[in-house]
Amino acid sequence: MHFLDRPPRFLFFTGKGGVGKTSLACAAAVHLASKGKRVLLVSTDPASNVGQVFGFPIGHRIAALPDVPNLSALEIDPQAAAQAYRDRIVGPVRGRLPEAVVHGIEEQLSGACTTEIAAFDEFTELLLDSSLTAGFDHIVFDTAPTGHTIRLLQLPGAWSGFLEAGKGDVSCLGPVAGLEKQRSQYKAAVDALADPARTRLILVARAQAAALREVARTHEELAAIGLSQQVLVLNGVFPSDEAEGDPLASSIWRREQDALQALPAALRRLPRDDIPLKPFNLVGLDALRRLLRDDGGRQEPPEASSALPRSGSALSSLADEIASQGRGLVLLMGKGGVGKTTLAAALAVTLADRGLPVHLTTSDPAAHLAETLEGSLARLTVSRIDPQEETARYRRHVLETRGAHLDAAGRALLEEDLRSPCTEEIAVFHAFSRILREAETKFVILDTAPTGHTLLLLDAAGAYHREVSRQMDKRGVRDATPMMRLQDTKETKVLIVTLAETTPVLEAAGLQADLRRAGIEPWAWVVNGSMAASNPRSALLQRRARNEWREIEAVAADHAKRFALVPLLAYEPVGPDRLRELVG
């Protein structure tokens, strides 16, 4: 394995949710410990399931794992770190400023950037050979800091005055003003990350076109700021000997091979390991030890339910309920890679087939569905919002207004502020908002909708929504603002899309909590790409299908008021005919 060949002291596993980076980080830690190395496994994932993988509770203090000599673990809770971070900043002004202003500050500090910086604040000590880690040969991190976080920490320490003077626009970077550690400590931490003798980044992905494009962007972003010691690990690669005799298995194998043939050039230059798809759940020491071995893995998983939970339904049932309204907003939300763009298109085709006018709009960079559908169906309008164009337009506007009178240093800080993840979300939401009014007369289906944090951030930045709400209530008028439309369950149906895997379900549950905090109640969940609903013939896929039931039942029992189960298909659901089959 390239990623374990002469490993440096720090190993960082990074990748999008659901690709298996936690399993690989745990397996690598177990492997190194078995070689007699003293290893500390650190998780900074908000939805950490390291304790679940080992079957041993792990908290915010270093704990030795009783069944694995030489291995200890630590979970940094990013949410708790971010809350402590907010308390340090907001505490001094609470009671001195109006409650609405304090709430606005708190919301500005509730985004992904705050969590990133707060988590980095926590594990800086782990990177600098402090007394906490002096006894360990290797420190394995599940989840690495993003390129944005590192870029931010490389900037001059002038954020406090910049933000207090109001030179930034709506942002989630406000917490940087409250960093209390010495700047030199952060510089030393960033230097450790960029030192190939000390640090290796393991980019984890699946052999899927979209996942490979995303990990290529991560590679280039991190390499551009000096983090060049990288290894690519493709997890869950479908074995060729399982592709015979099952159309579904054969299709999966062929799609993966096509994706690998088109591997981005930037990734071709990296050392690469392929980890075969395993039939068993990656829980417990035995599974972790076997993950990195080529012994096939013939362990039968525990038996699970043989039928869907009673509350489950086909996607067509949800489409029937949506169609009965005659018009309205339909938002499909979820993490990248769960298939929400495809499902949005499938619902749009289904509603248009029933004679209902539909406007489908997406901000997905892969616009092949829009190209397939455009002009192909009566009553269906398809548009695409380009996130890069919208973000560039938004940045230009802010720089021309807020940045017009800044000096060079202030403008550099504003430009970095506008590179935050929140900026793209806000810019895309502005573009979506221009389309929302159409829902008064037709269906508007939004793919890649804004997160709950973005909605709250927009709401907090100027109290526009609250003031309009008061005026509308006086006149007895409703649905005046985009936020009000999204909060109205009669006008808007939010569908949360996920996969029947542990991490995607945990992330979807987190998204649901975030939306509820914004006053938006999800209407239904969709479990997409389910092998359990596909009746595969391949022995490997049958075992994988049985492993899905625990997650499907968790969705039914703990998370969703209603949900649909969509099978994994043997072909790409592109074009109206195949999209109809997806719903059916």
The tens digit of pLDDT for each residue in 486-542 reads 888 888 999 999 999 887 888 889 889 888 887 889 999 999 999 988 888 888 998
Write down the residue that tokens 């075969």 correspond to: 276
Catalytic residue at 43? no
Residue 303 has pLDDT above 70, yes or no: no
What integer is the mean pLDDT of 132-154? Answer: 74
305 pLDDT band, cuts 50/70/90, is: very low
Q: Which of 45, 246, 273, 417 is catalytic?
A: 45
The pLDDT score that the predictor gives to residue 154 is 57
What integer is the mean pLDDT of 393-404? Answer: 86
Residue 11 has pLDDT above 90, yes or no: yes
Is the sign of the CA dihedral 101, 106, 110, 113 positive or negative?
Answer: positive
36 pLDDT band, cuts 50/70/90, is: very high
**CA count, 13 A, side-chain hemisphere, 496:** 29
Alpha-helical (H) ranges within 402-451 are 408-417, 421-436
Q: What are phi and psi of 201, to 5 degrees?
A: -100, 130
Q: Collapsing DSSP states into helix, strand and coil, what is residue 303? A: coil
Q: Which of these, 123, 112, 129, lies nearest to 181 by C-alpha position?
A: 123
Maximum distance among all Cα pairs of the chain, rounded to whole angstroms: 74
Write down the residue that tokens 């708790």 correspond to: 80
Catalytic residue at 20? yes
Crossing angle for the helix pair 247-261 and 209-224, nearest 10 degrees?
Answer: 30
The pLDDT score that the predictor gives to residue 225 is 79
- Going along the chain from its start, the domains and CATH numbers come out as 2-92+113-164+172-290 (3.40.50.300), 312-384+440-449+459-583 (3.40.50.300)
H or E stretch covering 342: helix 340-353
The pLDDT score that the predictor gives to residue 328 is 94
At 419-438, the pLDDT tens digits run 766 677 778 777 888 888 89
Write out the two tokens for 492.
Answer: 């808007």
Q: Which of 14, 23, 498, 502 is catalytic?
A: 23
Greater pLDDT, 388 or 254: 254
Q: Which of 16, 21, 278, 493 is catalytic?
A: 21
Catalytic residue at 21? yes
Write down the residue that tokens 């399931």 correspond to: 49
* Amino acid identity at 334: G
Residue 452 has pLDDT above 80, yes or no: no
User: Strand order of the sheet with strand 199-205?
Assistant: 63-64, 71-75, 39-43, 138-142, 10-14, 199-205, 230-237, 272-276
Partners of residue 201 on adjacent β-strands: 12, 230
User: Which of the listed ranges 107-116, 273-282, 411-420 does the model predict with the highest average pLDDT?
Assistant: 273-282
What integer is the mean pLDDT of 100-106? Answer: 72
What integer is the mean pLDDT of 556-567? Answer: 93
Greater pLDDT, 57 or 476: 57
The pLDDT score that the predictor gives to residue 175 is 47
The pLDDT score that the predictor gives to residue 298 is 46
278 pLDDT band, cuts 50/70/90, is: confident
* Amino acid identity at 488: D
Q: Which of these, 150, 156, 157, lies nearest to 223 by C-alpha position?
A: 150
Write down the residue that tokens 């009965």 correspond to: 324
Greater pLDDT, 567 or 369: 567
pLDDT-above-90 percentage for the chain: 28
Catalytic residue at 355? no
Q: Which of these, 101, 102, 172, lies nearest to 426 by C-alpha position?
A: 172
**Contact predicate 168/398, CB 8 Å:** no
- The whole-chain average pLDDT of the chain stands at 79
At 511-520, the pLDDT tens digits run 898 888 878 8
The pLDDT score that the predictor gives to residue 468 is 46
Catalytic residue at 45? yes
The pLDDT score that the predictor gives to residue 44 is 75
383 pLDDT band, cuts 50/70/90, is: confident
∠ CA 317-318-323, rounded to 5° = 100
Q: Which of 22, 44, 114, 423 is catalytic?
A: 22
Q: Are strands 138-142 and 328-333 parallel, antiparallel or unpaired?
A: unpaired
pTM above 0.85, yes or no: no
Q: Which of these, 144, 21, 156, 160, lies nearest to 78 by C-alpha position?
A: 144
Q: What are phi and psi of 445, to 5 degrees?
A: -110, 120
Q: Which of 15, 20, 104, 339 is catalytic?
A: 20
Write out the two tokens for 465.
Answer: 């929504």
Residue 463 has pLDDT above 70, yes or no: no
Q: Which of 14, 133, 481, 503 is catalytic?
A: 503
Residue 411 has pLDDT above 50, yes or no: yes
At 153-208, the pLDDT tens digits run 555 454 445 545 555 554 554 545 555 455 677 778 888 888 999 999 999 999 98
**CA distances to 86, 247, 296 from 536, in Å:** 49, 8, 19
H or E stretch covering 388: helix 387-401
Rounded to the nearest 10 degrees, how much is the dihedral formed by the CA atoms of 236, 239, 240, 244? Answer: -100
Residue 556 has pLDDT above 80, yes or no: yes
**Contact predicate 186/153, CB 8 Å:** yes
What integer is the mean pLDDT of 49-75? Answer: 84
How many beta carbons lie within 10 A of that of residue 77, not counting itself?
A: 19
Catalytic residue at 161? no
Catalytic residue at 350? no
The pLDDT score that the predictor gives to residue 63 is 87
The pLDDT score that the predictor gives to residue 460 is 47
What integer is the mean pLDDT of 550-576? Answer: 89
CA–CA separation, 295 and 401 (whole Å): 62
CB proximity list for 214: less than 8 A, separation 6 or greater:
16, 205, 336, 337
395 pLDDT band, cuts 50/70/90, is: confident
CA–CA separation, 370 and 383 (whole Å): 7
DSSP letters spanning 29-72: HHHHHHTT--EEEEE--TT--HHHHHTS---SS-EE-TTSTTEE
3-state helix, strand, coil in the chain (%, to 5): 50, 15, 35
Q: Collapsing DSSP states into helix, strand and coil, what is residue 530? A: strand
Q: Which of these, 346, 289, 287, 291, lies nearest to 316 by C-alpha position?
A: 346
**Contact predicate 168/108, CB 8 Å:** no
Residue 147 has pLDDT above 50, yes or no: yes
Alpha-helical (H) ranges within 130-272 are 147-154, 159-164, 183-194, 209-224, 247-261, 265-268
The pLDDT score that the predictor gives to residue 428 is 79
The pLDDT score that the predictor gives to residue 299 is 45
Q: Which of these, 27, 232, 45, 11, lies nearest to 137 by C-alpha position?
A: 11
The pLDDT score that the predictor gives to residue 8 is 94
